[in-house]
């Protein structure tokens, strides 16, 4: 073979290799582009555990957050709640409702069937708060991503339990997003950013309020008897708000929004809580064992003190607001999902910054943004993990509740390490005797 022939052959091989490499690179580039595009339109199939109003709302939020989201499985303790929610959700989301009859589960262990369902990508957890640590663990063990409403725990036991689930989820590459929607509201984020950037100086204290009217009570006397009376498990599940083991009391179930915002603003958990509370307007047995008002002081690192009040009393003046106090001024934030307004003033009372609460409308509402962030993180392979912050805010509520119940100062560290477990050992029991309303000086934190 001549040198010319060898040269031609070498050139052919080199050119072919270069061409193949170029084609391969182009092919890989095309593959990546197609794969990235596919990941953004990948179907996202949702399972719902807990079919109350918040669960139905969360499904609608998820469906409106991005394309190609469907509800494929549902679970609730009670069949009538399940059926009613299915009809309402189907009307609300139309073709995105894809829950076949054999993917509708009811009963005490129905959550297991949704969390293990092969068609479910992520689970929406909107059971009563005292059950969320159980359903979250089931979802994680079955490799499902999760959206968990707040609060995520109601005592020391469930606090540690959800943090363990978070570590398990991280190891499996799973996402957990939680329902503290103020953290995804533009106006609220702008105000907290100004605080963190030093606009009002070093924080030395705050006032926080979540004072509202009374809330719902389900059923009439005949229903209550059918549900086993006030000690009946079905009555408690249907009226879960009024039982501390299920709701965490209203300081946790409702007021966590403002307490979480205080932790966010201080970028810290409190050291301790001290204060009082009681029940003066909801004394009848149908209202379980919770209080209807709390008044507390939280101590934060550096000597800062937060005065916090919450109540649910019909006819009383409502107030839902936070005021942060710094060495250079104050920041008032008036929460209102999607249109919170904020104003900062110096200590002369002069306005130095404000946000007029321009609304996040339609698909930009913070309730929707929660699900958009979760779905994008799943599709992009960068799962969000939010459990620590909301668990700490839930525990902040718990130490306030326990301080009021006991009449003692309760520290955050005490609650982290404590033995407090409110739930009965057997939640499937037909009857579970409701504990007495806590009396300060008699009730003991453990």
String of DSSP letters for 225-242: HHTTSTTBHHHHHHTGGG
Domain boundaries, given as residue ranges, for the chain: 44-181, 187-362+388-417
pLDDT of residue 19: 40
How high does pLDDT run on average in the chain? 90
Half-sphere exposure of residue 26, counting CA atoms within 13 Å on the CB side? 6
* CA–CA dist 184, 365 (Å, integer): 9
Superfamily assignment of 44-181 in CATH? NAD(P)-binding Rossmann-like Domain (3.40.50.720)
- DSSP letter at 200? T
Q: pLDDT digits over 168-217, tens only? A: 999 999 999 999 989 998 889 999 999 999 999 999 999 999 999 999 99
Q: Please state whether the predicted TM-score (pTM) of the whole model is above 0.85.
A: yes
Listed in sequence order, the residues at least 6 apart from 195 whose beta carbon sits closer than 8 Å to its beta carbon are 203, 265, 324, 326, 331
Residue 339 has pLDDT above 70, yes or no: yes
- How far is the CA of 70 from the CAs of 34, 47, 89, 95, 224, in angstroms? 22, 9, 11, 8, 36
pLDDT of residue 433: 87
Please state, for a pLDDT cut of 70, what percent of the chain lies above it: 89
203 token code pair: 């924080």
Q: Which residues pair with 295 in a beta bridge?
A: 276, 309
432 pLDDT band (50/70/90 cuts)? Answer: confident
Residue 444 has pLDDT above 90, yes or no: yes
Q: Among candidates 235, 239, 215, which has minimal Cα distance to 224?
A: 235
Average pLDDT over residues 317-331: 97
Q: 187-362+388-417: same fold as 44-181?
A: no
pLDDT of residue 219: 96
Three-state SS for 116?
coil
Residue 392 CA, distance from chain mean position: 12
Poorest-pLDDT segment among 88-92, 317-321, 332-336: 332-336
Residue 28 has pLDDT above 90, yes or no: no
Superfamily assignment of 187-362+388-417 in CATH? Dihydrodipicolinate Reductase; domain 2 (3.30.360.10)
């Amino acid at each position: 073979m001549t040198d010319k022939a060898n040269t031609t052959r070498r050139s052919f091989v080199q050119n072919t290799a270069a061409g193949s490499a170029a084609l391969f690179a182009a092919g890989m580039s095309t593959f990546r582009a197609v794969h990235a595009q596919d990941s953004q339109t990948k179907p996202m199939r949702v399972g719902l555990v807990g079919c109350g109003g918040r669960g139905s709302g969360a499904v609608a939020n998820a469906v409106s957050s991005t394309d190609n989201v469907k509800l494929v499985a549902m679970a609730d303790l009670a069949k009538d709640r399940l059926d009613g929610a299915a009809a309402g959700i189907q009307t609300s989301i139309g073709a995105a409702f894809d829950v076949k009859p054999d993917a509708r589960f009811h009963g005490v262990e129905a959550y297991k069937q949704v969390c293990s369902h092969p068609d479910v990508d992520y689970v929406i957890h909107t059971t009563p708060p005292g059950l969320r640590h159980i359903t979250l663990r089931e979802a994680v063990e079955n490799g499902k991503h999760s959206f968990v409403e707040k609060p995520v725990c109601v005592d020391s036991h469930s606090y540690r339990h959800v943090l363990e689930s978070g570590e398990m989820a991280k190891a499996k590459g799973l996402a957990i997003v939680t329902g503290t929607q103020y953290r995804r509201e533009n106006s609220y984020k702008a105000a907290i950013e100004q605080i963190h950037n030093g606009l009002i100086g070093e924080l030395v204290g705050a006032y926080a309020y979540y004072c509202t009217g009374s809330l719902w009570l389900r059923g009439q006397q005949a229903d209550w008897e059918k549900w086993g009376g006030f000690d009946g498990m079905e009555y408690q599940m249907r009226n879960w708000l009024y039982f501390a083991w299920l709701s965490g009391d209203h300081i946790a179930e409702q007021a966590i929004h403002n307490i979480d915002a205080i932790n966010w603003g201080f970028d810290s958990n409190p050291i301790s809580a001290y204060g009082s509370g009681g029940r003066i307007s909801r004394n009848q047995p149908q209202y379980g064992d919770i209080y209807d008002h709390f008044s507390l002081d939280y101590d934060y690192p550096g000597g800062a003190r937060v005065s916090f009040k919450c109540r649910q009393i019909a006819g009383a003046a409502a107030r839902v607001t936070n005021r942060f106090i710094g060495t250079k001024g104050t920041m008032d934030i008036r929460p209102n999902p999607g249109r919170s307004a904020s104003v900062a003033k110096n200590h002369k009372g002069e306005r130095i910054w404000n946000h007029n609460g321009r609304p996040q409308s339609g698909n930009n509402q913070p309730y929707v943004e929660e699900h958009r962030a979760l779905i994008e993180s799943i599709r992009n392979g960068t799962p969000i993990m939010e459990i620590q912050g909301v668990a700490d805010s839930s525990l902040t509520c718990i130490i306030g509740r326990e301080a009021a119940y006991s009449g003692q100062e309760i520290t955050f560290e005490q609650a982290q390490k404590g033995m407090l477990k409110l739930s009965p050992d057997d939640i499937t029991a037909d009857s579970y005797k409701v504990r007495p309303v806590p009396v300060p000086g008699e009730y003991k934190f453990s």
